[in-house]
Chain A
């Protein structure tokens, strides 16, 4: 019944990506847009060798500009950083996850009530704006960079980790002066989306290699726990929804 997991392939190195995709322009080494399309900071020191078929076609942008992508990649990494427990948001593909989510129903608030009139409400009445999540991200990311430039004279992605934390804390604590969106509201959305990207099924582009689940010993999608429910803690090898596709 239960199939052995097929783990998601590792990402390609930057060079291999360029070679395979043929992204060269007039023989020149690519920078600019193409270069920033591959922000993956693959740690060359990891000892597991990449499996043979390593292309992950899912890792391309549906919504963000490369610049926005880099900010999201850096910011989510601060929210859920790489440490001794395992990979952080960046290696888990969280920025791709958020990009893909913004490209669909969630980004368009397709299933939210978006009819006018719009009034400022009480906090307990919830979000009352007319902006969609993708608009909020556009503004929020731009303002993250503006705030970085204003306070630290560098764009967000050039800041040190501690400095990036300071910028994010200013958003979290509403210490940024923006009128179009709520800084803390945007930060909370970014934080929730980060956790979604870390822990949702890998089919959505985050939780790469199920590493989000592995770090907390979450078994993912199992058909049954009737055998372990009465037992003490039992570690189970995780599997994703893809494993169900092998069943008829």
Chain B
């Protein structure tokens, strides 16, 4: 028997960045919001023992328990998809704050070019620049329209940064100054300036100084303790939903968070969402939470999975290219990087912060001429000092033995004597890259897992090598004695960590025929359902996605309020 609860104004599925922002904005306006979070409660005090590389980085303490739910993967349709049985390529967050707890805090804005990528590519290079099968879309919104929401998210987080000389126009400067520059960052700065490139400090959600945000939330400065990515911040210096937006929503008295509540279906009738069905994972009880408005704010995979399992929206059909749910799954091309070994210099690379770094965008977006290269877009190139923890960071120059006496000696010698320059390559959508429900494998409830069909294309291979060469060039200018860089990208491999920047599947656009949500992230097919997150990205840019997810969440909150006042499609 399903137990039915009293109706809420709004139910939010998943309480990470998107869910937290929606909850804070709507409760401020007097709406009652119920937040359903499948994982557990989280707070800053949980991180007393957080400097534990084994527990958090290697054993994935903060991540989704794959024994209960995972994804399946195949590189192409004729291969049988198989479950991702262990973590590798990306890490799926879990618990209050979601992936917003274990992120690094690198908080970028996408380029104006990104939002109108198809038009701008055709305008500058002609239609033939877009290869067959690349399903490039304009996003149905411009950078200028999105700018105020970027600004708002940056102020909520207190982003520490300086203006990107090659970025879009800003209405205001970053709320706090850039982080401290380590000697290796200064070397990168000098080298890139010598090369006539345009370095700027990475926009960081790790605060450079104490900061009080417009909601009155005060947080302390980052201590450069070097445990950000895969870890929670014991100082609250890294902006995450638990220390920013969630307390704002709670303070209104109108936000009820239910943890251990795993949403299984979105309920709907006559084209309108009526609420959700969820399981209390502590008791196994099935519960119905009715609501006037449903906001789907889980990670990319579950956003698509819940829509497909609930029969909402038209599933994408890769053969015909019709339908939208699951379309334009994209990722990130992250392997185009280089490592420089220095024989006579040691660095404090044991120290750092997730978003401590310096960036150039000279090879990102359309900031350079693509006439003579065999790809579109590009990627940001950076030297970041996130902290080299000892289990996971033992590189040795190519040709060195992987174990034994030589390995030990060499890896110890270079432990504090190497620097990486890395690129965050963009990922373009293709007709045959998509998400759908797996026909075979199930989660702990017996519901189908989501299935990824994805591989690297010529575009990605060319881009990765191009970016790796740029990284190597910078390390050479920095004076590295030996440089190893990527020579060939190879196929997409789910076993090696790349990035937790999975995007697409519920993409936004101006046309209901080719997109799933409008530019307020409202479903075209269901006016009272909003789907918020990187699932709305029609391709992935050459940056970390969270800044854009945050901006979209603020815009969606505005859209929800508009819908509440007027009903119907708000665009």
Contacts and interface: CB of A to CB of B under 8 A. Distances in A.
A83 interface: yes
A32 to B, nearest CB: 32
B67 A113 contact: yes
Given A114-B67, A114-B85, A233-B416, A79 B404 contact: yes
A222 interface: yes
A133 to B, nearest CB: 10
Given A215-B412, A219-B350, A229-B352, A112 B67 contact: yes
A102 B294 CA distance: 44
Contacts of A204: 54
A179 interface: no
B342 to A, nearest CB: 11
Nearest to A232: B183
Nearest to B222: A226
Q: Which of A123, A195, A216, A224 counts the most chain B CB atoms within 10 A?
A: A216
Interface in A66-119: 78-81, 83, 85, 88, 105-106, 109-115, 117, 119
Interface in A163-220: 165, 168, 172, 191, 194-196, 199-201, 203-204, 212-213, 215-220
B52 A201 contact: yes
A229 B84 contact: no
Contact of B54 (A79, A119, A125, A201): A201
A228 B404 contact: no
A127 B408 CA distance: 28
A241 interface: yes
B390 A199 contact: yes
A83 B224 contact: no
A125 B74 contact: yes
A223 interface: yes
Contacts of A244: 48-49
Identify whether the interface residues of A are mostly helix, strand, loop, or mixed. Answer: loop
A225 B79 contact: no
B347 A233 contact: yes
Contacts, number: 172
B500 interface: no
A218 B296 CA distance: 43
B52 A241 contact: yes
Contacts of A113: 66-67, 69-70, 83-86
A217 B404 CA distance: 20
A110 B59 CA distance: 11
A45 interface: no
Contacts of B347: 232-233
A224 B174 CA distance: 25
Contacts of A59: none
Q: Which of A123, A200, A213, A217 counts the most chain B CB atoms within 10 A?
A: A200
Nearest to B394: A195
Contact of B86 (A105, A112, A119, A172): A112
B346 interface: yes
A124 interface: yes
Interface string B124-151: 0000000000000000000000000000
Contacts of A128: 82-83, 85
Contact of A225 (B84, B85, B226): B226
A44 interface: no
B65 interface: yes
Interface stretch (B467-475, B490-498, B511-519): B490-498
A123 B348 CA distance: 37
Interface residues on B, range: 35 or more
Contacts of B491: 124
A150 interface: no
Contacts of A168: 403
Identify whether the interface residues of B are mostly helix, strand, loop, or mixed. Answer: loop
A122 interface: yes
A43 interface: no
Nearest to A78: B404
A230 interface: yes
Nearest to B83: A113
B403 A225 contact: no
B73 A115 contact: no
Nearest to B69: A113
A127 B70 CA distance: 14
Contacts of A191: 402-403
A126 B86 contact: yes
Nearest to B227: A221
Interface in B339-384: 345-348, 350-352, 356
A8 B549 CA distance: 46
Nearest to A124: B493
Contacts of A212: 390
A105 B59 contact: yes
B38 to A, nearest CB: 15
B54 A196 contact: yes
A83 B405 contact: yes
B351 A241 contact: no
Interface in B423-449: 440-442
Contacts of A231: 183, 348
A121 interface: yes
Contacts of A115: 83, 441-442
20 contacts: A81-B408, A109-B85, A109-B86, A110-B67, A113-B84, A113-B85, A124-B493, A128-B83, A201-B51, A216-B416, A217-B350, A217-B415, A222-B51, A225-B352, A229-B182, A230-B180, A230-B182, A233-B345, A234-B348, A241-B51
Across chains A and B, which 8 residue pairs bring their CB atoms closest together, nearest first?
A225-B351, A233-B346, A224-B223, A221-B51, A216-B415, A199-B390, A200-B54, A225-B224
Interface of B: 48-49, 51-54, 58-60, 65-67, 69-70, 73-75, 79-80, 82-86, 88, 180-183, 221-226, 345-348, 350-352, 356, 385, 390-391, 394, 402-405, 407-409, 411-412, 415-416, 440-442, 491-495
Interface of A: 78-81, 83, 85, 88, 105-106, 109-115, 117, 119, 121-128, 165, 168, 172, 191, 194-196, 199-201, 203-204, 212-213, 215-226, 228-234, 241, 244
Given A124-B494, A219-B350, A225-B224, 7 more contacts: A111-B67, A114-B67, A126-B85, A203-B52, A216-B415, A226-B222, A232-B183
